[in-house]
């Protein structure tokens, strides 16, 4: 019998997780059955419990259930605790363990696939919502020289940094605080790209050789990436590599091995 895994969300038809994890399993010869589970807020816990009872070994969690999964898990990783959200569940004799692999996926994509060092660099993160919450701690663990978190509502940026226990190299401010920061890596963690919205970037935002990275993927070159290129970013990237990277980290948590993401990137691109 194959090991059973799933992704849970609402909506869920658009999820690429089955393609990703089936491709990973093929690399190692693992016998894996991966499915999509549609749930509601009312039956989320019941759906997960039923999947466990039927022999499920693990689950990816997507919107809108990352907070519900936090409450459902028996134990949490440090990065899940810092993010206050879960995107990966592992089921075992000790119960349900929750983790958040989003930030690891982002860091591995920037550092390993794109070949851009993050240590001693100046990093700008735009947005203080759930997407930013999942990536802050892993970014800070790379040892940047400075990390600035900006948000339309400045108070939320300060609250997020305080909640993460971030200090020292970090600062928070309003959106326009990044205009002249000369950042090496600029990450859009807002939802602006879903409707091609614009962000208040300036030529002084980007240092020579800077990378502009949009967490959104599958929408071509977004307004954020177009503006970044025009304003001096040397390289731009969407978030598809982060998607594959966070899935690869989930797979490592379940099976103890890290897949080769390059052929899977080509497959989903």
Residue numbers annotated as active site: 66
Would the annotation count 199 as a binding residue?
A: no
Would the annotation count 99 as a binding residue?
A: no
Would the annotation count 239 as a binding residue?
A: yes
Would the annotation count 130 as a binding residue?
A: yes
Would the annotation count 215 as a binding residue?
A: yes
Q: Would the CA dihedral through 217, 219, 224, 225 be positive or negative?
A: positive
Task: Name the maximum alpha-carbon separation found in the chain.
Answer: 58
Query: First vs last Cα of the chain: how many Å apart?
Result: 31
Would the annotation count 60 as a binding residue?
A: no
Would the annotation count 217 as a binding residue?
A: yes
Cα 43 to Cα 53: distance, rounded to the nearest angstrom: 15
Q: What's the Cα-to-Cα distance from 45 to each of 8, 40, 49, 73, 100, rounded to whole Å?
A: 11, 9, 6, 10, 18
Q: What's the Cα-to-Cα distance from 4 to each of 20, 31, 39, 166, 249, rounded to whole Å?
A: 15, 9, 18, 37, 17
Would the annotation count 247 as a binding residue?
A: no
As a dihedral over the C-alpha atoms of residue 163, residue 249, residue 8, residue 130, rounded to 10 degrees, the angle is: 20
Q: Residue 117, Cα to own-chain centre: how many angstroms?
A: 18
Cα 83 to Cα 77: distance, rounded to the nearest angstrom: 10
Would the annotation count 177 as a binding residue?
A: no
CA gyration radius for the chain? 18
Would the annotation count 88 as a binding residue?
A: no
Would the annotation count 181 as a binding residue?
A: no
Would the annotation count 155 as a binding residue?
A: yes
Q: Residue 101, Cα to own-chain centre: how many angstroms?
A: 7
Summarize the annotated binding site for shikimate as residue ranges. Answer: 15-17, 62, 87, 102, 217, 246
Summarize the annotated binding site as residue ranges. Answer: 15-17, 62, 78, 87, 102, 127-131, 151-156, 215, 217, 239, 246
């Amino acid at each position: 019998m194959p090991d059973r895994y799933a992704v849970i969300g609402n909506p869920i038809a658009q999820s690429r997780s089955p393609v990703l994890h089936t491709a990973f399993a093929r690399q190692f010869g693992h016998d894996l059955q991966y499915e999509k589970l549609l749930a509601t807020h009312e039956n989320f816990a019941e759906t997960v419990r039923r999947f466990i009872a039927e022999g499920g070994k693990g689950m990816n969690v997507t919107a809108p259930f990352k907070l519900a999964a936090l409450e459902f898990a028996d134990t949490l990783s440090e990065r899940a605790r810092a993010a206050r959200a879960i995107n990966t569940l592992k089921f075992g004799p000790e119960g349900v363990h929750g983790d958040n692999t989003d930030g690891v996926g982002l860091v591995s994509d920037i550092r390993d696939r794109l070949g851009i060092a993050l240590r001693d660099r100046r990093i700008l993160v735009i947005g203080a919502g759930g997407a930013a919450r999942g990536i802050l701690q892993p970014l800070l663990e790379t040892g940047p020289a400075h990390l600035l978190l900006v948000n339309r509502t400045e108070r939320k940026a300060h609250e997020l940094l305080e909640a993460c226990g971030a200090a020292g190299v970090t600062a928070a401010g309003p959106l326009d605080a990044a205009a002249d920061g000369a950042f090496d890596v600029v990450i859009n963690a807002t939802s602006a790209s879903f409707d091609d919205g614009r962000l208040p970037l300036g030529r002084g935002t980007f240092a020579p050789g800077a990378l502009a990275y949009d967490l959104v993927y599958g929408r071509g070159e977004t307004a954020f990436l177009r503006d970044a290129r025009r304003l001096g970013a040397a390289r731009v990237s969407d978030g598809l590599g982060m998607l594959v990277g966070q899935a690869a980290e989930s797979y490592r948590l379940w099976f103890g091995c890290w897949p080769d993401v390059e052929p899977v990137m080509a497959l989903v691109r």
